[in-house]
Protein backbone atom coordinates (compact mmCIF):
# COMPACT_ATOMS: atom_id res chain seq x y z
CA UNK A 1 0.00 0.00 0.00
CA UNK A 2 3.03 2.25 0.25
CA UNK A 3 3.95 1.88 -3.38
CA UNK A 4 2.94 5.02 -5.21
CA UNK A 5 3.06 4.68 -8.97
CA UNK A 6 3.61 7.59 -11.35
CA UNK A 7 -0.10 8.19 -11.75
CA UNK A 8 -0.55 8.41 -7.95
CA UNK A 9 2.27 10.95 -7.77
CA UNK A 10 0.84 13.06 -10.57
CA UNK A 11 -2.54 12.96 -8.83
CA UNK A 12 -1.07 13.93 -5.46
CA UNK A 13 0.85 16.82 -6.99
CA UNK A 14 -2.15 18.08 -8.94
CA UNK A 15 -4.66 17.67 -6.12
CA UNK A 16 -2.70 19.94 -3.79
CA UNK A 17 -3.84 22.70 -6.14
CA UNK A 18 -7.36 23.94 -6.43
CA UNK A 19 -10.25 21.73 -7.54
CA UNK A 20 -12.56 23.61 -9.92
CA UNK A 21 -16.08 24.32 -8.72
CA UNK A 22 -18.19 22.67 -11.43
CA UNK A 23 -20.68 19.81 -11.50
CA UNK A 24 -18.05 17.16 -12.39
CA UNK A 25 -14.80 18.55 -10.94
CA UNK A 26 -12.98 15.21 -10.90
CA UNK A 27 -13.81 14.70 -14.57
CA UNK A 28 -12.18 18.07 -15.31
CA UNK A 29 -9.01 17.20 -13.40
CA UNK A 30 -8.92 13.67 -14.83
CA UNK A 31 -9.01 15.13 -18.33
CA UNK A 32 -6.02 17.33 -17.45
CA UNK A 33 -4.14 14.27 -16.22
CA UNK A 34 -5.21 12.08 -19.15
CA UNK A 35 -6.99 9.50 -17.01
CA UNK A 36 -10.60 8.50 -16.46
CA UNK A 37 -12.78 10.21 -13.86
CA UNK A 38 -13.52 6.87 -12.13
CA UNK A 39 -9.83 6.05 -11.89
CA UNK A 40 -9.03 9.45 -10.35
CA UNK A 41 -11.77 9.05 -7.74
CA UNK A 42 -10.76 5.47 -6.96
CA UNK A 43 -7.09 6.39 -6.52
CA UNK A 44 -7.94 9.39 -4.32
CA UNK A 45 -10.18 7.19 -2.18
CA UNK A 46 -7.41 4.59 -1.88
CA UNK A 47 -4.77 7.18 -0.91
CA UNK A 48 -7.13 8.64 1.65
CA UNK A 49 -7.90 5.21 3.10
CA UNK A 50 -4.15 4.50 3.23
CA UNK A 51 -3.48 7.75 5.09
CA UNK A 52 -1.35 9.34 2.33
CA UNK A 53 -3.98 12.04 2.06
CA UNK A 54 -5.10 13.34 5.45
CA UNK A 55 -8.06 15.23 4.15
CA UNK A 56 -9.57 16.30 0.87
CA UNK A 57 -11.81 19.34 0.77
CA UNK A 58 -12.01 23.10 1.23
CA UNK A 59 -9.23 24.77 3.25
CA UNK A 60 -10.94 27.40 5.34
CA UNK A 61 -9.35 30.61 6.57
CA UNK A 62 -10.83 31.24 10.00
CA UNK A 63 -9.55 34.83 9.98
CA UNK A 64 -11.54 35.62 6.86
CA UNK A 65 -14.63 34.57 8.83
CA UNK A 66 -13.80 36.95 11.68
CA UNK A 67 -12.05 34.33 13.79
CA UNK A 68 -8.60 34.73 15.27
CA UNK A 69 -5.46 32.61 15.49
CA UNK A 70 -2.42 33.01 17.69
CA UNK A 71 0.76 31.00 18.01
CA UNK A 72 1.71 30.68 21.68
CA UNK A 73 4.75 29.27 23.44
CA UNK A 74 5.58 28.20 26.97
CA UNK A 75 8.72 27.13 28.81
CA UNK A 76 7.44 24.14 30.77
CA UNK A 77 9.58 22.43 33.42
CA UNK A 78 10.30 18.87 32.23
CA UNK A 79 8.79 17.25 35.32
CA UNK A 80 5.50 19.04 34.71
CA UNK A 81 5.43 18.64 30.94
CA UNK A 82 2.73 15.96 30.67
CA UNK A 83 0.49 17.62 33.24
CA UNK A 84 0.76 21.02 31.57
CA UNK A 85 0.16 19.47 28.13
CA UNK A 86 -3.07 18.00 29.49
CA UNK A 87 -4.11 21.38 30.95
CA UNK A 88 -3.39 23.19 27.68
CA UNK A 89 -4.99 20.54 25.45
CA UNK A 90 -8.16 20.52 27.55
CA UNK A 91 -9.05 23.88 25.98
CA UNK A 92 -11.05 23.27 22.77
CA UNK A 93 -9.53 26.48 21.36
CA UNK A 94 -6.11 24.77 21.23
CA UNK A 95 -6.06 23.59 17.60
CA UNK A 96 -2.65 21.95 17.70
CA UNK A 97 0.20 21.63 20.10
CA UNK A 98 3.78 20.52 19.45
CA UNK A 99 6.66 19.67 21.74
CA UNK A 100 9.85 21.32 20.45
CA UNK A 101 13.47 21.01 21.50
CA UNK A 102 14.07 24.49 22.91
CA UNK A 103 13.78 26.30 26.26
CA UNK A 104 10.36 27.29 24.91
CA UNK A 105 9.37 23.64 24.64
CA UNK A 106 5.61 23.79 24.08
CA UNK A 107 4.15 25.55 21.04
CA UNK A 108 0.44 25.65 20.34
CA UNK A 109 -2.04 27.51 18.20
CA UNK A 110 -5.18 29.06 19.61
CA UNK A 111 -8.14 29.43 17.27
CA UNK A 112 -11.08 31.45 18.53
CA UNK A 113 -14.20 32.89 16.98
CA UNK A 114 -13.12 36.44 17.74
CA UNK A 115 -9.88 38.24 18.66
CA UNK A 116 -10.91 38.79 22.29
CA UNK A 117 -11.05 35.03 22.75
CA UNK A 118 -7.27 34.71 22.28
CA UNK A 119 -6.39 36.81 25.32
CA UNK A 120 -8.98 35.17 27.53
CA UNK A 121 -7.83 31.62 26.74
CA UNK A 122 -4.12 32.51 27.04
CA UNK A 123 -4.76 34.30 30.36
CA UNK A 124 -6.72 31.31 31.58
CA UNK A 125 -3.85 28.92 30.73
CA UNK A 126 -1.44 31.22 32.60
CA UNK A 127 -3.71 31.18 35.65
CA UNK A 128 -4.12 27.39 35.55
CA UNK A 129 -0.45 26.58 35.09
CA UNK A 130 1.29 29.51 36.74
CA UNK A 131 3.46 29.71 33.61
CA UNK A 132 3.85 32.55 31.16
CA UNK A 133 2.18 32.15 27.77
CA UNK A 134 4.16 34.05 25.15
CA UNK A 135 1.95 35.20 22.29
CA UNK A 136 3.09 35.44 18.72
CA UNK A 137 0.16 36.62 16.59
CA UNK A 138 0.94 36.79 12.89
CA UNK A 139 1.62 40.33 11.76
CA UNK A 140 2.08 39.48 8.10
CA UNK A 141 1.99 36.34 6.01
CA UNK A 142 4.64 35.61 3.40
CA UNK A 143 3.17 32.61 1.69
CA UNK A 144 3.25 31.60 -1.91
CA UNK A 145 2.10 28.00 -1.82
CA UNK A 146 3.84 24.97 -0.43
CA UNK A 147 3.50 21.65 -2.18
CA UNK A 148 4.88 18.32 -1.06
CA UNK A 149 6.44 16.73 -4.14
CA UNK A 150 5.13 13.17 -4.18
CA UNK B 1 -17.32 38.63 4.98
CA UNK B 2 -19.42 36.96 7.54
CA UNK B 3 -20.94 33.66 6.44
CA UNK B 4 -24.70 33.34 6.86
CA UNK B 5 -26.44 30.40 8.53
CA UNK B 6 -26.54 28.36 5.31
CA UNK B 7 -22.84 29.05 4.67
CA UNK B 8 -22.08 27.82 8.16
CA UNK B 9 -23.98 24.59 7.55
CA UNK B 10 -22.00 24.17 4.36
CA UNK B 11 -18.73 24.82 6.20
CA UNK B 12 -19.63 22.35 8.93
CA UNK B 13 -20.64 19.71 6.38
CA UNK B 14 -17.30 20.01 4.57
CA UNK B 15 -14.93 20.29 7.52
CA UNK B 16 -14.23 16.58 7.43
CA UNK B 17 -13.81 16.81 3.67
CA UNK B 18 -15.62 16.61 0.39
CA UNK B 19 -17.26 13.32 -0.71
CA UNK B 20 -15.12 11.50 -3.28
CA UNK B 21 -17.88 10.93 -5.82
CA UNK B 22 -18.38 12.14 -9.39
CA UNK B 23 -20.71 14.94 -8.33
CA UNK B 24 -19.49 15.97 -4.87
CA UNK B 25 -21.44 19.24 -4.82
CA UNK B 26 -24.68 17.43 -5.67
CA UNK B 27 -23.97 14.96 -2.85
CA UNK B 28 -23.45 17.86 -0.44
CA UNK B 29 -26.59 19.54 -1.71
CA UNK B 30 -28.61 16.40 -1.03
CA UNK B 31 -27.24 16.24 2.49
CA UNK B 32 -28.12 19.88 3.19
CA UNK B 33 -31.43 20.13 1.35
CA UNK B 34 -30.06 22.67 -1.16
CA UNK B 35 -29.68 22.57 -4.92
CA UNK B 36 -26.36 21.64 -6.50
CA UNK B 37 -26.26 25.08 -8.16
CA UNK B 38 -26.69 26.84 -4.82
CA UNK B 39 -23.90 24.80 -3.21
CA UNK B 40 -21.56 25.68 -6.08
CA UNK B 41 -22.56 29.36 -5.97
CA UNK B 42 -21.98 29.56 -2.24
CA UNK B 43 -18.62 27.80 -2.42
CA UNK B 44 -17.53 30.09 -5.26
CA UNK B 45 -18.55 33.12 -3.22
CA UNK B 46 -16.72 31.87 -0.12
CA UNK B 47 -13.66 31.32 -2.28
CA UNK B 48 -13.86 34.79 -3.82
CA UNK B 49 -14.08 36.25 -0.29
CA UNK B 50 -11.00 34.33 0.82
CA UNK B 51 -12.92 32.24 3.36
CA UNK B 52 -11.97 29.18 1.28
CA UNK B 53 -8.33 29.28 0.27
CA UNK B 54 -8.61 26.33 -2.06
CA UNK B 55 -10.31 22.96 -2.41
CA UNK B 56 -7.47 20.49 -2.32
CA UNK B 57 -5.82 17.45 -0.80
CA UNK B 58 -3.79 17.73 2.40
CA UNK B 59 -0.99 15.20 2.03
CA UNK B 60 0.41 13.40 5.03
CA UNK B 61 3.99 14.73 5.18
CA UNK B 62 5.15 11.86 7.32
CA UNK B 63 3.77 9.19 5.02
CA UNK B 64 5.43 10.87 2.05
CA UNK B 65 8.79 10.68 3.77
CA UNK B 66 8.94 14.30 5.01
CA UNK B 67 9.74 13.19 8.53
CA UNK B 68 11.76 16.17 9.76
CA UNK B 69 10.13 19.53 10.32
CA UNK B 70 11.90 22.50 11.77
CA UNK B 71 10.50 25.87 12.73
CA UNK B 72 13.27 28.23 11.66
CA UNK B 73 13.20 31.63 13.33
CA UNK B 74 15.11 34.73 12.28
CA UNK B 75 15.91 38.16 13.68
CA UNK B 76 15.64 40.31 10.57
CA UNK B 77 16.02 44.09 10.48
CA UNK B 78 12.51 45.50 10.39
CA UNK B 79 13.26 47.72 7.40
CA UNK B 80 14.49 44.76 5.32
CA UNK B 81 11.62 42.42 6.14
CA UNK B 82 9.03 43.61 3.59
CA UNK B 83 11.47 42.81 0.76
CA UNK B 84 12.97 39.63 2.22
CA UNK B 85 9.88 37.97 3.72
CA UNK B 86 8.18 37.20 0.39
CA UNK B 87 11.45 35.70 -0.94
CA UNK B 88 11.60 33.29 2.00
CA UNK B 89 7.91 32.48 1.64
CA UNK B 90 8.44 31.67 -2.04
CA UNK B 91 11.04 28.94 -1.33
CA UNK B 92 9.50 25.62 -2.33
CA UNK B 93 10.46 23.91 0.93
CA UNK B 94 8.91 26.59 3.17
CA UNK B 95 5.32 25.70 4.09
CA UNK B 96 4.43 28.66 6.29
CA UNK B 97 6.19 31.99 6.62
CA UNK B 98 5.09 34.77 8.94
CA UNK B 99 6.24 37.98 10.56
CA UNK B 100 5.48 37.80 14.28
CA UNK B 101 6.29 40.14 17.16
CA UNK B 102 9.54 39.71 19.08
CA UNK B 103 9.30 38.92 22.81
CA UNK B 104 12.41 40.70 24.07
CA UNK B 105 14.69 39.95 25.77
CA UNK B 106 14.02 36.20 25.52
CA UNK B 107 12.92 36.02 21.94
CA UNK B 108 14.56 38.32 19.37
CA UNK B 109 13.08 36.59 16.30
CA UNK B 110 10.49 38.26 14.08
CA UNK B 111 10.41 35.93 11.04
CA UNK B 112 9.14 32.35 11.28
CA UNK B 113 9.55 29.88 8.41
CA UNK B 114 8.48 26.25 8.67
CA UNK B 115 10.84 23.94 6.79
CA UNK B 116 10.18 20.30 5.90
CA UNK B 117 12.55 17.58 4.75
CA UNK B 118 13.24 13.86 4.79
CA UNK B 119 15.95 14.22 7.45
CA UNK B 120 17.20 16.85 9.90
CA UNK B 121 20.37 17.11 7.81
CA UNK B 122 18.26 18.06 4.81
CA UNK B 123 16.35 20.62 6.89
CA UNK B 124 19.67 22.06 8.12
CA UNK B 125 20.84 22.54 4.52
CA UNK B 126 17.60 24.36 3.74
CA UNK B 127 18.11 26.56 6.79
CA UNK B 128 21.50 27.55 5.36
CA UNK B 129 19.81 28.49 2.09
CA UNK B 130 17.47 30.82 3.97
CA UNK B 131 20.43 32.31 5.86
CA UNK B 132 22.20 32.99 2.55
CA UNK B 133 19.08 34.64 1.15
CA UNK B 134 18.64 36.90 4.20
CA UNK B 135 22.33 37.89 4.24
CA UNK B 136 23.51 40.65 6.58
CA UNK B 137 19.96 41.87 7.35
CA UNK B 138 19.69 38.82 9.61
CA UNK B 139 21.25 39.25 13.05
CA UNK B 140 20.56 35.80 14.46
CA UNK B 141 18.55 32.64 13.99
CA UNK B 142 17.53 29.39 15.59
CA UNK B 143 15.72 26.21 14.63
CA UNK B 144 13.17 24.36 16.74
CA UNK B 145 12.49 20.79 15.69
CA UNK B 146 9.20 19.27 16.68
CA UNK B 147 9.72 16.20 18.81
CA UNK B 148 6.12 15.19 19.38
CA UNK B 149 2.60 16.12 18.32
CA UNK B 150 0.70 16.77 21.55
CA UNK B 151 -2.59 17.66 19.87
CA UNK B 152 -3.84 18.09 16.35
CA UNK B 153 -7.38 18.96 15.37
CA UNK B 154 -8.71 20.78 12.35
CA UNK B 155 -10.54 24.05 12.42
CA UNK B 156 -13.71 23.59 14.41
CA UNK B 157 -16.52 26.07 14.30
CA UNK B 158 -18.82 26.34 17.22
CA UNK B 159 -22.45 26.09 16.28
CA UNK B 160 -24.13 29.46 16.44
CA UNK B 161 -25.60 30.15 19.84
CA UNK B 162 -23.21 27.76 21.53
> In which band, very low, low, confident or very high, does the pLDDT at A115 lie, cut at 50, 70 and 90?
confident
Answer yes or no: is pLDDT of B25 > 70. Answer: yes
The β-bridge partners of B11 are: none
Q: Are A21 and B64 inside 8 Å of each other by CB? A: no
pLDDT digits (tens, 9 = 90+) for A91-114: 999 988 999 999 999 999 998 888
- DSSP secondary-structure letter at B92? T
Question: Which A-chain residues 62-101 have CB contacts (< 8 A) with chain B?
Answer: 62, 64-66, 71, 73, 85, 88-89, 92, 94-101
Contacts of A146 (CB under 8 A, 6+ apart): B92, B93, B94, B95, B96, B116
ipTM of the complex: 0.76
List Cα–Cα distances, A97 to A100, A119, A122, B56, in angstroms. 10, 17, 14, 24
Query: Looking at the complex, does the CB of residue B79 fall below 8 Å from at least one CB of chain A?
Result: no
Report the percent of chain B where pLDDT is more than 90: 69
Asked if residues B20 and A41 have their Cβ atoms less than 8 Å apart, the reply is yes
Q: d(Cα B18, Cα A15) in Å, to the nearest integer? A: 13
Residue B147: the pLDDT is 86
Q: Are B100 and A139 inside 8 Å of each other by CB? A: yes
Domains parsed from chain A with CATH numbers = 6-49 (no CATH), 62-136 (3.30.70.3460)
Amino acid sequence: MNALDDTDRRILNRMQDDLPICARPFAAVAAELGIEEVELIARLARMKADGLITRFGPFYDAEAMGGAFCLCAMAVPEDRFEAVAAQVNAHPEVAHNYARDHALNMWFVLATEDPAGIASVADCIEAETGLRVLRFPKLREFFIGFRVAA
Amino acid sequence: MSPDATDRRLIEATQAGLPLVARPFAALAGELGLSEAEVMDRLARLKAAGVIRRIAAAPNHYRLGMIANGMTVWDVEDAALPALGPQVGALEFVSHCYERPRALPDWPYNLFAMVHGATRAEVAVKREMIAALLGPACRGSDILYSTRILKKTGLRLRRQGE
